Structure 1
Amino acid sequence: MSANGEVKPAARPLKVDGVDVELGGVAILRGVTFDVRPGEVFGIVGPNGAGKTTILNVIDGIVRPSAGTVRYGDVDLCRVRPHNMRDHGIGRSLQSTHYFRDLTAAELVALGELPNSVAGALRFTGHRKRRKAQAAARHRGMEVLEQFGLERYASRPLNELSSAVQKLLDIARAVVAGGELLLLDEPTSGVSGQERGAIGEALLQLRTLGRTIVLIDHDPGFVTGNCDRLMAMNFGEVLDVGLPDDVMGSDVVKRSYLGEPVDSDTGESAAPGP
C-alpha cells in the first residue's frame, strides 16, 4: 500500500487447474479449473453442496486437493500453510462473526494482522501480555476502518451492530489480513436487500484500489451486478464460466442452480401454466 493509502493494481493471476477433493472417500470437487484475472471481481455461484466453500478452502490451504494445482502468480498455494497465506497477500472473510461477538469493531478488524484461523485469533486475544503486537494491529485496523468509513463503530461490540455492518467489518478484517487477493464467503448472508448496496460499494472501492476478489454469494442480483465474471457450480463440478448475464442465462445453470425448467425445443425457460 502506498503512503496515500492506495494499493497498486494486483499483478498476479490466480489459477486453479484440475482440482479434485475427496473427503471420506466422497468426491467433493471434480476437475475444477478456472482463472481469476488481476484486479477482477470473480463470483462463484451454485446451490448448497455445490462445493463453493471447498474451493475457497483449497485456495487458502485449509483443504489440500487430492489432484490438481492452485497457483497465485508464481506461488504454489498447495505448499503454503493456512496461517502463512497473509504473507502472500491473501485474506479471507468468514461466513459468520459469531465467534467474535464480544469483541469491538476495532478489535475484530485488528485480528487481520494475526494468523488466518479462528483458533489462532482466539488464542492471540487471550494473551494480554502481547501489548505491543496488539497495539500495532489495532493501529492498522483503525486505518482500514477509516478507509471504509466505519471508524464510528470502533468501540462498539459486534453484538450491538447490524448484520450489514458486521459483514463490512469482516471484509475490513480480510483487507488487513491480505494485500492483494480477498476471498469473501457469502458477504451478503443475513443482510437485507437495501443494505446489500453498501457491500457492493465496498467491493467497488476495493477493486478501485487494485485488489482481486473471489466471492461466494447466493443472491443472483448481487453477483450479476457486482462481479466481472461468474463461475457456476453443481455437485463439485464447473457448469459454466463467463460474463454474469451469460452464465446466469445459460440453460444448464437455469436447470441446476435456479431450478427453472427449460423448453427442450426453444431452449427458453418454460413458464408455468395457469
Structure 2
Amino acid sequence: MTVIDTEVQDGRARPQRGAKVLDAEQVTMRFGGLVAVNKVDFDVHEGEIVGLIGPNGAGKTTFFNCLTGMYKPTSGTVKFYGEVLPPKPRAVVKAGMARTFQNIRLFGNMTALENVMVGRYCRTTSGAITSVLHGPKYRREEAESRSRAQELLDFVGLGKSSELLARNMPYGDQRRLEIARALATDPKLILLDEPTAGMNPLETQQAMDLIFKIRDQGLAVVVIEHDMRFIFQLCDRVLCLVRGEALVWGTPGEVQSDPRVVEAYIGGSELEDDEDEVQA
C-alpha cells in the first residue's frame, strides 16, 4: 500500500481523488419477478471513501454482491479499472477487490494470525505437490505470508492478539480481524458491509479511524452502514438506495439535506418533526 497526496476538504485532510477504480453501469438484479436492484449507476475513485445507505430491504447487500462477483447481474456491467469483472468471487479478489460481510465470517478455531494468512493465499503460487512436500517455494511463501499477516494485525491494532483464537476475541476485534484478512489480499478497493454493526461508540470511532487509515494508504473504500452520523462524517460521496433504485447520489451534505432521504427512512408524515434526527 502506498500513501498518496492529500488535500484539505471540510476541515480534514483527504487524498486527492485519482483514477476511476470501479464503474458500475445500469446494474440490475432480478430474482424471478422481484427486482432487487434496478439500473443503478455507481463509481469509485482512488483515494475516495463512498457510502451506500438505505432502509432495510433497499438492496444494498444485493448490490454489493453484484459488485463483488457473488451474483451475476441480470443486466448492466461492473468494470474494475476499465475491465469488465467476471461474476466469480475468486477472480474479483485476484483483480484487486476485497470485502467483509455483514455477519462475521472468521475461522473460529484458527488464530488471528492464521485467519489473516488465509487472505494471503490468493497471492501465492505454490502448486499442490510443493505444498504437500513443503518444498523451498512453499516455505518461502509461507514465511512471507506469516510476516505480512503480522504486519496487517499491527496495522489494525491487533498485533498483540496474533495467537488468540478468533472465537475468543472481543466482537470489535473480530470486526477488525475481518478487515485485516481482506487487506491481506492486497486490494485496491475494499468494500465493508456494516463494519460498525453491534459496536459501542468507542469501537465505532476506532472503526472510523481505521477506515481513514486504510484510505490514507492509497486504497478506495466503499461502506454499507445504517449509522448515518458515521457515514456522513466518513464519506466523500454517498449513494442512497430505496427499493433497489438510486434515490440520491452526492456529497454527504447534499444527501443528508435531501428531504427524499428523510422520507425514505421515517416516512413522509413525520418528515418535518424528525428531519433533524436523520441529519444528526
Answer yes or no: same fold by TM over 0.5.
yes
Contact 2:106/2:178 (<8 A) preserved: no
User: 1:179: which partner in 2?
Assistant: 187
User: 2:88: which partner in 1?
Assistant: 81
1:270 corresponds, among 268, 273, 279, to 273
**What does residue range 198-237 of structure 1 map to in structure 2 within 5 Å?**
198-237=206-245
Contact 1:13/1:35 (<8 A) preserved: yes
Question: What percent of counterpart residues are identical?
Answer: 32
Q: Cα 1:128–1:149, aligned 2, differ >3 Å: closer, same or farther?
A: farther
Deviations 1:82-136 (A, max 9, x none): 11222211111122335522221111112212459xxxxxxx9xx9877745544
1:100 aligned onto 2:107: yes
2:80 corresponds, among 68, 72, 79, to 72
The count of aligned residue pairs is 253
Contact 1:16/1:34 (<8 A) preserved: yes
TM-score by length of 1: 0.84
TM-score by length of 2: 0.82
Contact 2:117/2:181 (<8 A) preserved: yes
1:109 aligned onto 2:116: yes
User: 1:13: which partner in 2?
Assistant: 21
Long gaps (5+) in structure 1: 117-123
2:64 corresponds, among 42, 56, 80, to 56
Supply the RMSD in Å over aligned alpha carbons: 2.5
User: 1:120: which partner in 2?
Assistant: none
Deviations 1:138-190 (A, max 9, x none): 22211211222321010111222221111111111111123210011110011
- Between the aligned partners of 1:51 and 1:213, the Cα distance in structure 2 is 19
Contact 2:70/2:87 (<8 A) preserved: no
- Between the aligned partners of 1:170 and 1:148, the Cα distance in structure 2 is 10
Contact 1:260/1:270 (<8 A) preserved: no
Q: How far apart are 1:65 and its partner, in Å?
A: 0.8
- Between the aligned partners of 1:87 and 1:80, the Cα distance in structure 2 is 12
User: 1:119: which partner in 2?
Assistant: none
Q: How far apart are 1:25 and its partner, in Å?
A: 3.0
- Between the aligned partners of 2:269 and 2:198, the Cα distance in structure 1 is 30
- Between the aligned partners of 2:90 and 2:228, the Cα distance in structure 1 is 32
Q: How far apart are 1:8 and its partner, in Å?
A: 5.5
Deviations 1:22-80 (A, max 9, x none): 11331111010121122100000011111111111111111111111111112111x25
1:239 aligned onto 2:247: yes
